[in-house]
C-alpha cells in the first residue's frame, strides 16, 4: 500500500543513504525522507509530500 499525499504517520528508519533516509510505512512500503538522516531503527513522524503509485515510491518530510 502506498500512503496518500498529506498522510502523517510514524515510520521506522530502515536505511540511511547520502541523499536521505528510507522510512518504512507501518504497512511495509518504503519512502524517502530527502536530505535528512535518522538512525536505523529510529521512529520518525513524517508527512507524505508526493506519491508515485505506479512505481511504488513516495517522498517524505518531517511532520
Domains of the chain plus CATH, in order, are: 8-62 (2.40.50.140)
Q: Does the pLDDT of residue 53 top 90, yes or no? A: no
Kindly state the DSSP code that residue 28 receives in the 8-state scheme. Answer: S
Q: Does the pLDDT of residue 63 top 90, yes or no? A: yes
Mean pLDDT, all residues of the chain: 94
Calculate what percentage of the chain has a pLDDT beyond 70. 100
* Strand blocks (E) in 1-63: 8-17, 20-24, 30-34, 43-52, 57-62
Q: Does the pLDDT of residue 57 top 90, yes or no? A: no
**Distance set, CA 50 to CA 20, 40, 41, 47 (Å):** 15, 23, 23, 9
Kindly state the DSSP code that residue 19 receives in the 8-state scheme. Answer: T
Over residues 28-36, mean pLDDT: 94
Please give the torsion angle defined by the CA atoms of residues 17, 14, 61 and 34, in that order, rounded to the nearest 10 degrees. 10
pTM here is 0.92
Amino acid at each position: 500500500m502506498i500512503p496518500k499525499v498529506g498522510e502523517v504517520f510514524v515510520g521506522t528508519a530502515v536505511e540511511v543513504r547520502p541523499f536521505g533516509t528510507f522510512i518504512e510505512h507501518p504497512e511495509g512500503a518504503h519512502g524517502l525522507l530527502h536530505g535528512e538522516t535518522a538512525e536505523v531503527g529510529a521512529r520518525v513522524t513524517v508527512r507524505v509530500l508526493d506519491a508515485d503509485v505506479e512505481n511504488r515510491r513516495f517522498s517524505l518530510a518531517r511532520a
